[in-house]
Amino acid sequence: MEKRIQIPDTDLAVYPIGLGTGGAGLERESGAAERVFDTYLDCGGNLIDTAHVYSDWVPGERARSERVIGDWLAKSGKRNRIVLMTKGGHPEIAEGAPNRGQSRMTRADMRTDLEDSLRKLRTDRIDIYFYHRDDRRQTVEEEIEAMEDFVREGKIRYYACSNWDADRMLEAVAYCRKKGYRGFVADQSLLNIGMKYMDDLADATLRCTRGEAYRFHIEHPEVLEMPFSGNCNGFFQQFLAGEWERIKGSDYNTEKNREAAERIRELTEKYGCSVTQAVMGFFRYQPFACVPLYATSSPAHVADVCGTLEIPFAEEDYLSFLPSDKPAESLQGSPERNG
């Protein structure tokens, strides 16, 4: 039976693992991205995530990921088979860009990004459109009303946030309830099996699902958690393969995570599964529904990660990896909610 997670109060039912596309179009081999997209759909997937800023860190083309996805959609005719997500409002990161690194979250900024995303993706609407960052100098009311305008115009169906603090998400929930809006349908922030013991993130604009943000998702299941970096940037695979050069400088390369890697190895032996599957199984045992994002340029890796859903992991396999500030009762019922 095909697996789906229904986002409350929407008509969106999504595959439990989303396909991240930050590197789409950077592969040397022609057609590599298209093969990844097709493999993901063949495995039952339907949730594709990109952003207007992907992959502007590589010179030569702006919004490359959106353009590659748009080319595939136009060629394949598969637009109606996917839930398409993109994000706008990120600071400029391209070398030489004016105002590089400065916040750009105004209504005009968002409209510029959204309309260019629609052109790049060759579609008339985005299923879930995200604020890629937040600007606390603006009111939540301003930001919500900008998104509501896009909904009324038919350019987006639903909206969401990425890298927001819990207090701002709570403000958004309260405002939307007052106005009768559906409000944020999802939140993208960092959550994974290695987060508990990782070093502090170098990028101060990124947010982790811990503390108040963790409790927010327990108390607000209508805002689906979509963790990025679900695979811990490949740290555990690289560590267990002895690829020491590749993990130098990794935020996950801590003594506690090196110890955790041995527990992950034990899971691979217990279930006969891959390291990736053991790492991604973590998301089934959260106290709220999670749809982690996984990015790769390999069709074989796509098939492997989708196979996670067939492994009969148990709650006790992941207890030691859960946040220490998690309420003790919060695991009840989580496998069914995430299945």
pLDDT of 189 higher than 60: yes
pLDDT at residue 121 in the model: 98
Calpha distance 89→144 (Å, rounded) = 14
pLDDT at residue 228 in the model: 96
pLDDT of 315 higher than 80: yes
pLDDT of 215 higher than 90: yes
pLDDT at residue 202 in the model: 83
Mean pLDDT of 184-208: 94
pLDDT band per the 50, 70, 90 thresholds, residue 325 = low
Mean pLDDT of 60-76: 95
Q: pLDDT of 91-126, one tens digit each?
A: 887 776 677 777 889 999 999 999 999 999 999 999
Average predicted confidence (pLDDT) for the chain = 92
pLDDT at residue 9 in the model: 97
Poorest-pLDDT segment among 5-14, 185-194, 202-211, 224-233: 202-211
pLDDT band per the 50, 70, 90 thresholds, residue 2 = low
pLDDT at residue 326 in the model: 54
Calpha distance 134→322 (Å, rounded) = 27
pLDDT of 177 higher than 60: yes
The kind and range of the H/E element at 212 are helix 212-219
Identify the bridge partners of residue 172 per DSSP, sorted by sequence position.
none
Q: CA dist 173 to 149, 201, 219, Å?
A: 17, 27, 11
DSSP string, 255-323: HHHHHHHHHHHHHHHHHT--HHHHHHGGGGGSSS-B--EEE-S-HHHHHHHHGGGGS---GGGTGGGS-
Q: What angle do CA 71, 72, 75 make, to 5 degrees?
A: 85
Q: How many domains does the chain have?
A: 1
pLDDT band per the 50, 70, 90 thresholds, residue 330 = very low
pLDDT of 86 higher than 70: yes
pLDDT at residue 102 in the model: 79
pLDDT of 336 higher than 90: no
pLDDT at residue 51 in the model: 97
Dihedral pair phi/psi, residue 316, rounded to 5°: -65, -15
Alpha-carbon 261 to chain mean position? 23
Q: pLDDT of 22-32, one tens digit each?
A: 999 898 778 99
pLDDT at residue 55 in the model: 86
Sequence letter at residue 293: L
pLDDT at residue 30 in the model: 80
Asked if the bond preceding 334 is cis, omega within 30° of 0, the reply is no
Give the residue with greater pLDDT, 286 vs 30.
286
pLDDT band per the 50, 70, 90 thresholds, residue 324 = low
Poorest-pLDDT segment among 40-44, 59-63, 112-116, 277-281: 59-63
Whether pTM exceeds 0.85: yes
Q: Which domain holds residue 113?
A: 5-338
How many other C-beta atoms lie within 10 A of the C-beta of residue 291? 22
The percent of residues above 90 in pLDDT, for the chain, comes to: 84
Phi-psi region of 166 (alpha: psi -120 to 50; beta: other; left: phi over 0): alpha
Which residue in the list 15, 40, 54, 252 is annotated as catalytic? 54
**CATH code (residue 229):** 3.20.20.100
Q: What angle do CA 45, 229, 139 make, to 5 degrees?
A: 100
Is residue 54 among the annotated active site residues?
A: yes
